[in-house]
Structure 1
Amino acid sequence: MTRVLIADDIQQNLYLLESILKGCSYEVIPAKNGVEALELAKEHPPDLIITDILMPVMDGFELCRRWKADEDLQHIPLIFYTATYTDPRDERFAMNLGAERYIVKPVKPDVLMGIVRDVLNESEQGTSSPPEQTEQDEIKTLQEYNEVIFRKLQNKVLQLEDQIARCNQIEEELREKERFLDNIFEHIPNMVFVKDADDLRFIRFNKAGEDFLGVPREELIGKNDFDLFPQEQSLRFLETDREALQKNALVDIPEEPIQTRAKGERILHTKKIPIPDESGNPRYLLGIAEDITERIEIEKFRKTTLLQVEEQILQLAILNDSIRNPLTVIIALASMHDGGVFEQIAGQAYEIDQIVNRLDQGWLESMKIREFIRKHYP
């Protein structure tokens, strides 16, 4: 079975090339660098070597130079297989070192295997022979090798400079996005906080939260609820925190009391939202709390006012009936007497009727007030 030695420091490349060669019934010996390839070749001489160029310990160019200088190995054909050294000057230098072929990745497997078969056939027919080098040729080779390495280093430096510039640009873009998000976070009018999902300690507070609680941000970060609030409230906060994290879903708390240093006891409408990590597990707990104390007080006032208006409407209706019904009876009885008495009673009745009409007007106005409250303060 034809034996092929392959050298590459990237395991994935080794595996792919080995799979292709084995699929064509070649025996394969893998090596991770030039030194290892030379050692393996000494122990188990191959019929062909396919090597990468950019490798640690010993690169492909130095491997080729030593390979072609070794009496036991120089007759074994060598193919360069690289994705890094793509400059035509690199290929020219490689062929001057004595390589049989120079293949630039990527290449289709059938094309690669065609080249492998051609090289092996040439080797069997003796059409390929290592170049004879004088001392002057060796010096020239080393100079060319240094030029190739220097050129590659220059290219790498330029690539690194481009990458550094791109990284700096990305970092600045990220900083700008962070400033933008921080600006939004700080200008949200409601209290916003973030807790670590593991220990439920505060790691972030916005300006509204700092002002609402009346506590400097430095005193809030790293603390938990029990460090800041009464135990009863802290236990309730802890319960809803755990509920949100266990469900891994938003928890809405319509009303919850909180003791603040700046404003005393207030009422909050709070939403707690788990923020997951890459695997979907809660990493942080986001809280958004709106102070609804005034709203609740207004609602209580509305309800009280509405009840008072309803009571007033009822009393006016009762009073109206209490006066108007007896008045009707009095006028009817007075009509049975002579004209003087009737006129006197009728005059008094008229004045009372005017008072009752004003009560009716008050009742109508109260009805309007009730409808206004129901419409604008539902």
Structure 2
Amino acid sequence: MSKILIADDDADSRELLRYTLASLGHEVTAVSNGAEALESAQTLPPDLIFSDILMPEMDGFELCRAIRSDTKLRLTPFIFYTATYVSAEDEKLAMDMGGSSFIRKADDVADFLPMIQEILRRHSQHELPVPVASKEAVAELERRHTETVTRKLIKKVREIEQINREKTLILAAAGEGIFSLDHDGRHAMVNAAAASLLGYTVEELVGARSHPTWHHHRADGSPFPESECPISATMKDGATHRSVEDVWWRKDGSPIQVAYSCSPLIEDDEIRGAVVVFRDISKRKEAETALQKSKDLLQSVVENVPARIFWKDRELRFLGCNSQFAKDAGRAGPDELIGLSDFDMPWRALAELYRADDKAVIESGAPKIGFEEPQTTPEGDTIWLRTSKVPLPDETGQVIGMLGIYDDITERKQAEDEIRKLSQAVAQSPESIVITNLDAEIEYVNDAVLSATGYQREELIGRNPRILHSGKTPPETYRTMWNALVDGHPWKGEFINKRKDGSEYAEFAIITPLRQADGSITHYVAVKEDITEKKRIDAELSQYREQLEALVRERTAQLAEALENAEAATKAKSAFLANMSHEILTPM
């Protein structure tokens, strides 16, 4: 295989060609300019030279002429390989200078590999001609070379000038402050944004030393020695120094909060100065302060809201909670729960139940609101919760977890159970129970009222109890009742009422004011018993009692008369015996 030398200042192009030729088994040396190529060729003569044209130090034309002028190298095949000189005139000049071939870089490398092989073959068999120019031709080539190079240089200068203009425009348009410093720390270049942010003109800053101008004090107002300044350190240690938050000082003495990066300018391994890029972060700091206040407010709300709050990630691990939730979990504070799961909590037996709800909320993206569930306390007791869970989205709307909030409703559940029992007792009571508001409008009747009166519930609700009046209850009874109720006292008494079918019945009623926690009366509750049958029995008993009493009186009179008669007979008998005794004892 052949030894091939490549000269190209374009690293990517040079490496591609080197790799391609090396993969074919050739021994390849690659350098970045003509001077290095000439030195390499003179040290280790190659079998073939590839050369770009426009390169630093020595271009391709000069390299080709030097190769052709060297007695040891003049027969070496020389291929021009360029992306800059691509015109027919450029190609003719290259060939006249002694080129063996002319290849444009836009061509596919694989397309000219056969040509390379052919050149190497012809060279090995001494079949490859080498152009030999006369002195006049050489002079002409010199002239054409000079013109070409001059033309290209002018073009390059214009390109550089255009680039410089664009850089100037970019620097002027940049919203960030940009300036360069020389090795003494003086402003060498300052863009408009930097001057404006610092309150100076560009002219005022150029030539002025940076540290005494705007970095002379720290944020707390204490002096800032230049020896401790990171920007000054860059020009000593050659390292890039950055600060995400610092304070500089404007011309008017006001502080400006900045973030900056300071990079060294190195030339010939010497630090020539530095470039500083900075931006005003005052608004960002204000936003951060406002955000922190919002976070503090939110944390205060989370901590003080009368509910337990917690949030989890997609793996259902706790990310945070408020203190009340931590207390329910038997922990000293919210930090102790971070990274744990429901399996680490006192309610681990219910973990699967909770996690199933969490997973459903995260996967569906839909909240689950106001459902009841049990929870085990650290003491092993069971309490009841009213829970709501919602998905937690990130700024893109992607669900990254869930948030839950719940109340302990154990006491309410117990109260509801008591109310339910009481309600059932009232509803199922054999006694008639009526509840009215303060305007005597019926709001509730139990089934016993419906059975006693013959009305349907909807016929009584909203009506006044006088719908049951028969007109036979004495008016004084109602006056006495209302006087007692208005004074807040219970009342009991009897009514003669009338059913829906017109039949009458007697009721014994106990009516009580219903008071709220503050003592105010909101309703009246009447518990009534149908005493019609009782009164009928009492009437019969009274009649029986009167009959019995009359009979007793009659029998008593008869007994008294008999007794009187007996007593009279006894007296007569006693008188008779007395007389008989007297006669017997008296002598004749």
- Give me the TM-score of the superposition, normalised by structure 2: 0.33
Greater percentage in helix: 1
Larger radius of gyration: 2
- The structure whose RCO (Cα within 8 Å, separation 6+) is larger is 1
- Give me the TM-score of the superposition, normalised by structure 1: 0.49
